[in-house]
Amino acid sequence: MKLGVKELDNVLGDIEKGSLILFHEADSRSRGKEIVFKIISSKLDSDNLVGLFNISYPIPVLLSILERNGVSATKHLNEDRLVIIDTFGSIYGMRYNIKNVWYLNGPISLETLGQKYIDVIRRYKQYWAEKGMFDGRELWGSSIVMSEYKHIFGVDATLRYLEVSSEIRRRSDVYRKYPSGTNIWLYSGVDNKVLPFLYRKAKYIIKTESYIEGWEVKRRLKILKAPGLEDTVEFEYEITKSGLKLREL
């Protein structure tokens, strides 16, 4: 199982099924989100299943961002291979009647969020299982953007949620009854509490950052952590209309 970006696949090889991949976008100017969207697009275009957890945007804005970055979101939603769990809309009461956009029921706090996610995951995995959609397909999950939790709930509460949610998932029968996905968590920005926890938790860490050189924005991607990785692997990259271009340094 590969990420779907040739240059990264050459370094990482096969991704361990069920693992956590942290994409750390150190600054928004590095446009790390767009690399994650490229991976999501590749997975969907290859007939795989994706559960996308939306934490950051109203659904119309998210769909526009996805389409602008090459993800045919409406098409994949209608074909049942993409589901969106709309945390943002559930919290702020912005709900839309769009096929395969799922909402969390009842009042939402970090104390109840983990179980509410389990309830929704159970429903859409049951649907996929009944339609026989797991057969021959990879299952991926992606959270856009994890760092939004700390803006909604605060840093300390977010850290407590992340610690407790792992135990909730471990105890749930959903992950025994149905296949488990390989997860990409996108985190934007820096902090000294939540991010270190995620760095410890993730099996793979890919960091994007940018700097100014003369009149140009330069972007760097670093593979910081992966099974068997002995040293950091660094790329310079560009995002153009023709796609993503990476050059190993």
Q: Could you report the per-residue pLDDT of 18-49, keeping only the tens digit for each?
A: 999 999 999 999 999 999 999 999 999 999 99
Measured CA to CA, the distance from residue 33 to residue 49 in angstroms comes to 19
Crossing angle of the two packed helices 155-171 and 110-130, in degrees rounded to 10: 40
- The pLDDT assigned to 165 comes to 84
CATH of domain 6-248: 3.40.50.300
Low-confidence ranges of the chain (pLDDT < 70): none
Residue 147: which residues within 8 A CB-CB, separation 6 or more? 187, 188, 189, 191, 194
Write down the pTM of the prediction.
0.94
- The pLDDT assigned to 108 comes to 85
Q: Are 62 and 101 in contact (CB under 8 A)?
A: no
What distance separates the 2 farthest-apart alpha carbons in the chain?
57
- The pLDDT assigned to 106 comes to 85
- The pLDDT assigned to 175 comes to 86
- The pLDDT assigned to 101 comes to 97
Give the tens place of pLDDT for each residue, 180-219.
999 999 999 999 999 999 999 999 999 999 999 888 999 9
Amino acid sitting at position 83: V
- The pLDDT assigned to 141 comes to 95
- The pLDDT assigned to 169 comes to 81
Q: Is the dihedral of CA 94, 100, 103, 105 positive or negative?
A: positive
